[in-house]
Amino acid sequence: MSILKVDPQKIEYTDTSQIDPDYTNKMNKEYNWMAKGYDAFMIVFPLWKRWIKKVIPYIEGKKVLEVSFGSGYLMTQYAANDFDVYGIDYNEKMLEIASTKMLSNEISAKLSLANVEFLPFPNNKFNTIINTMAFTGYPNGDKAMAEFKRVLKEDGILLLVDFDYPENRNLLGYWIVKLWEKLGDIIKDINSLLSKYEFNYQDISIGGFGSVHLFIAKNK
């Protein structure tokens, strides 16, 4: 079976020294045209919904922040509960679509436009931060993680779903991650970042041959 495993030396994270300084704005242009079709994409690829919904049972406390909510699908799945929900996204069209969706679902959530690197909230505000399928789209994982840490309460929880290499280095999962990188995302060593920012965390493989991870990270 070892023939199906990738050599550990091939597990390389994206070289961040090569990232275009205008990366976020360029990706944002892509999201402008993706926004309208985003819900349709989730219908033809229902696994996506299944993956991101894995965070729901782990939400804790009253104040919840969803960073990079996209078209707001996930929010419709948990926000009707007794949470005080906030959300930010960088893309205006996503914000428009998600806001309309919240209105039509009679969900009250405070949504705004912002960059993950500068979250418009005071320190220690949230019990839970949700971040799904967005972390590999940030140019600077360090800054994003530092902001998560700053706005989380001391015992708050970060729930992060994204692509990372499969722990068992299986070839299929490895290729999926490489494909994601080819499509323009920045593959990050999320485990190291969580350790650096002193989270106590679990890394659970939830699909994609081990390439889709759910990180349940407790602030300490």
Ligand X SMILES: C[S@@+](CC[C@H](N)C(=O)[O-])C[C@H]1O[C@@H](n2cnc3c(N)ncnc32)[C@H](O)[C@@H]1O
Q: List contacts with ligand X (CB under 6 A).
A: 24, 27, 31, 52, 68-70, 74, 89-91, 94, 115-116, 132-134, 137-138
- Radius of gyration (C-alpha) of the chain in whole angstroms: 17
4 or 120, CB closer to ligand X?
120
Residue 162: alpha-carbon gap to chain centroid: 6
Nearest distance, CB of residue 107 and ligand X, angstroms: 16
In the complex, residue closest to ligand X by CB: 70
Nearest distance, CB of residue 126 and ligand X, angstroms: 15
Distance CA 80, CA 82 (A): 7
Nearest distance, CB of residue 218 and ligand X, angstroms: 21
Nearest distance, CB of residue 202 and ligand X, angstroms: 20
Are the C-beta atoms of 201 and 193 separated by less than 8 Å?
no
Q: What stretches of the chain show up as alpha helix (H) in DSSP? A: 23-34, 38-44, 46-52, 73-78, 92-104, 141-151, 171-182, 190-196
C-alpha to C-alpha distances, 59 to 56, 111, 126, nearest whole angstrom: 6, 18, 11
Nearest distance, CB of residue 132 and ligand X, angstroms: 4
165 or 180, CB closer to ligand X?
180
139 or 210, CB closer to ligand X?
139
Our separate counts of H helices and E strands in the chain read 8, 7
6 or 64, CB closer to ligand X?
64
CB burial class (10 A; 0-12, 13-18, 19+) of residue 4? exposed
